[in-house]
Structure 1
Amino acid sequence: MNNCSLYTLLSKYGDYQQKTAGEDIFSYGDSAAKVYLIIKGLIRVFIQDQHKKEKEVARLSSEDILGELALLGAKEYSSRATAYEDSILIEFSSENFRQLLSKQTILNEKIITSLCSKIDLLQRPIIEFTDLISSSKEESNSQDTTDEKIVKEEIDSFSNFYLDGHCKYLEVAGEDFEYYLYDKSVNCPICSTRIEVKEIRNSRLRLKETRDDLRPIYKHFRPDWYKIWICPKCFYTASKDDFFDLTTSRKRKIKEEFKAKVQSILGDNYQPTYSNPRKLNEVFDAYYLAIESYNLMGSSKEKFAYLWLKLSWLYEDVDEEELAKKASFKAMENLREFYFKEHHSKLSNSKNNKITLLLSFLFYKHGLKDEALPLLDTLIRNHQIKRSYKEMARDKFIEIREEKRRAKEENQV
């Protein structure tokens, strides 16, 4: 049965609902009497911790099931589901949905998959925290309740700075890196301190290839090690392209709050610096400091997207596949937020095309093929686009369609 026929059948048992972006489908404590099938759009699902702080645990799109705990006899919803963008759903009573389960085996599979996924998401943070506390207890057999609280606070602080799993990396910049660099003195726009920075001699770079995620690979050099500037006095950190792009209010906020915030996380003795030759640990810290700086200033989601993207590349280079995936996912989420929510009509056509292409590739990388296809189609039909971008978009579009065709044939078998 194709989707059209299936939706026609489903609509006999339920009612179509339209939700605008930002509108809740249900919230904490609401009566768990309804089950939803998402037809179109994107739904965000949140839970609350013991302090009523919300955490996003899932993003659901077309053909996903929502509110299925109502089928298990739950009286109230323990989560909040809200439309991330304009969405269409079919709403069922739990009784009508049970009747459908006996008629459509595909719905049984969706329910099982959805429940397993949510159980895994809900258990994972609890397991990880329990393991961390247990290992801390093994290291010291005389901890009391106060000590456990300190351990938890330390874990929370550092996990809010680095991605969970981040560690120390021993790699150091190669001696040949100096060939591509020159020294430059600039004044920090926050505290006016004269600082020494490294600039890249672009004329000496030799491009080997450009990957699907638009990462340029150069011979003998990694430019991303030198993309972030830091003031060692006030700790102000930003991409060199944004370093002087500050409003008066942002300058004041960094000057008054940033250094104290960083030291509250990394310790009073922490000092951001670059060695010569530069160490990879310092490069990682610079990117994470830039993220904290942009957070404090309320920068555009596009800025965060590129920081996380470059962090994913750094993790790739040291074979940290899981961390690379996490950073890449954050890049995708921030770029999607920018693309669909933030105002970017003032972007040049070239930059808009680049962002569209990058977002489509990130969608594909993280399994969101149906979200990638319309973006790729837009690029293919665009007459004002670089030839290389159009070719990349066309190749990826064909690849996705072929993958979907093979998957459909396999399911029919």
Structure 2
Amino acid sequence: MASKDDKAPSITFYTKEQTQCPICNAKFKQEKVMSGGGRLIAGSLTDELRRLYEPSAKFGEVLPLVYAMTVCPKCLYAAFPQDFCVLDKESLNKIYDGMQDRFTSVKQLFSKIDYAGSRTLNEGAASYYLALLCYESVDTKYSPHIKQGLCALRGAWLFSDMGRKFPEENYSYIADLLYRKSLFYYRRAVELETSGQEMIANLKSFGPDLDKNYGFDGVLYLAALLEVKYGSRTDPEKRRELLAYHRRSLAKMFGLGRSSRNKPGPLLEHARNLYDSIVAEINEDAEDE
């Protein structure tokens, strides 16, 4: 029999208080990741503003994103923690009506998902997919489009991780689909914000990852980056038009001057690199004509 000393070191804990699902009334304790004791060793920051973490000898690989979303283990209602218990009745009723569709959709991706026990990468990736479905039914006052964009982006990250771990599966294909969905929702969120139809300022953190909030500037940067990486190339003229828009947006945000001194250093560096890439593509297209 293994002794307590042989027990694998813990990377998570469960909250003492229970959360009650506002849809099915199920009560459950949430699993949270521990951050101290050398569990999280910050690595590099990707161009998508994702923070990578180095595996530690004691705890192995730890992915905080796996535990970030609140998910009801009974009805699979998923949302950001700040939204889970506060959505209006009409939104909750619509989410309730989509319960069976959530079960069916997630079963097409995973043979087994269990939010009653400790989460794995499967539950982490599925949590963002489920939240993406749930926010389809949420009122505009809760800024669902930017939250769907964030869910799709984080989901793409975790499905990409799964694709590297299990290359024989279709997870990389799902990741690519989520990246393209993220582009759609980021683009739409910026359009709605600009027109005043859906404000996104009430978002607690624009992320996109958990370690730092890059604010609305981060949203504009990611909208441009996703357009460059995943935007359609079937209509060259339309693509040039979109790239020109993002070039102006980046130039305005991170142009030389006093205002740029207040921008986060990593974001400023990535934005300048992206700006150069956009200019290079536009110029290359002009030379080909």
1:230 equivalenced with 2:89 (yes/no):
no
Flag the 1:334–1:240 CA change in 2: closer, same or farther, 3 A. Answer: same
**Which residue of structure 2 lines up, in the alignment, with residue 208 of structure 1?**
43
5 Å-filtered alignment, 1:2-401, equals: 179-184=10-15, 185-190=17-22, 191-203=24-36, 204-220=39-55, 221-255=62-96, 257-263=97-103, 273-274=114-115, 276=117, 278-298=119-139, 300-317=144-161, 318-319=163-164, 320-342=171-193, 343-344=198-199, 346=201, 351-367=215-231, 368=239, 369-381=243-255, 382-383=259-260, 384-401=262-279
8 Å Cα contact 2:106-2:126 kept in structure 1 = no
Equivalents in 2 of 1:280, 1:372: separation in Å?
34
The 3-state SS of whatever aligns with 1:209 is: strand
Task: Report the count of equivalent residues.
Answer: 233
Higher RCO (Cα < 8 Å, 6 or more apart): 2
The 3-state SS of whatever aligns with 1:182 is: strand
**Which residue of structure 2 lines up, in the alignment, with residue 94 of structure 1?**
none
Flag the 1:249–1:272 CA change in 2: closer, same or farther, 3 A. Answer: farther
Q: How far is 1:397 from its partner? A: 1.1
Equivalents in 1 of 2:106, 2:254: separation in Å?
47
8 Å Cα contact 1:181-1:201 kept in structure 2 = yes
8 Å Cα contact 2:152-2:179 kept in structure 1 = yes
Identity of aligned residues (%): 21
The CA RMSD over aligned residues, in Å, is 3.2
**Which residue of structure 1 lines up, in the alignment, with residue 3 of structure 2?**
none
* 1:37-58 CA-partner distances (Å, limit 9, x unpaired): xxxxxxxxxxxxxxxxxxxxxx
**Which residue of structure 1 lines up, in the alignment, with residue 211 of structure 2?**
none
* 1:35-89 CA-partner distances (Å, limit 9, x unpaired): xxxxxxxxxxxxxxxxxxxxxxxxxxxxxxxxxxxxxxxxxxxxxxxxxxxxxxx
TM-score, with normalisation over the residues of structure 1? Answer: 0.49
Q: How far is 1:252 from its partner? A: 4.0
Flag the 1:205–1:241 CA change in 2: closer, same or farther, 3 A. Answer: farther
8 Å Cα contact 1:363-1:371 kept in structure 2 = no
Equivalents in 2 of 1:347, 1:385: separation in Å?
20
Flag the 1:179–1:395 CA change in 2: closer, same or farther, 3 A. Answer: farther
Q: How far is 1:363 from its partner? A: 1.4
Equivalents in 1 of 2:224, 2:159: separation in Å?
21
**Which residue of structure 1 lines up, in the alignment, with residue 234 of structure 2?**
none
8 Å Cα contact 1:294-1:304 kept in structure 2 = yes
The 3-state SS of whatever aligns with 2:44 is: strand
Q: How far is 1:347 from its partner? A: 5.6
Equivalents in 1 of 2:216, 2:90: separation in Å?
28
The 3-state SS of whatever aligns with 2:84 is: coil
Equivalents in 1 of 2:268, 2:202: separation in Å?
19
* 1:78-129 CA-partner distances (Å, limit 9, x unpaired): xxxxxxxxxxxxxxxxxxxxxxxxxxxxxxxxxxxxxxxxxxxxxxxxxxxx
Equivalents in 1 of 2:121, 2:179: separation in Å?
19
Equivalents in 2 of 1:361, 1:182: separation in Å?
36
8 Å Cα contact 1:236-1:258 kept in structure 2 = no
Flag the 1:217–1:247 CA change in 2: closer, same or farther, 3 A. Answer: same
Q: Which amino acid is 2:223 matched to? A: L
* 1:154-173 CA-partner distances (Å, limit 9, x unpaired): xxxxxxxxxxxxxxxxxxxx
Q: Which amino acid is 2:114 matched to? A: T
The 3-state SS of whatever aligns with 1:341 is: helix
Q: How far is 1:345 from its partner? A: 6.8
Q: Which has more radius of gyration?
A: 1
Q: Which amino acid is 2:13 matched to? A: Y
Structure 1 unmatched ranges of 5 or more: 1-174
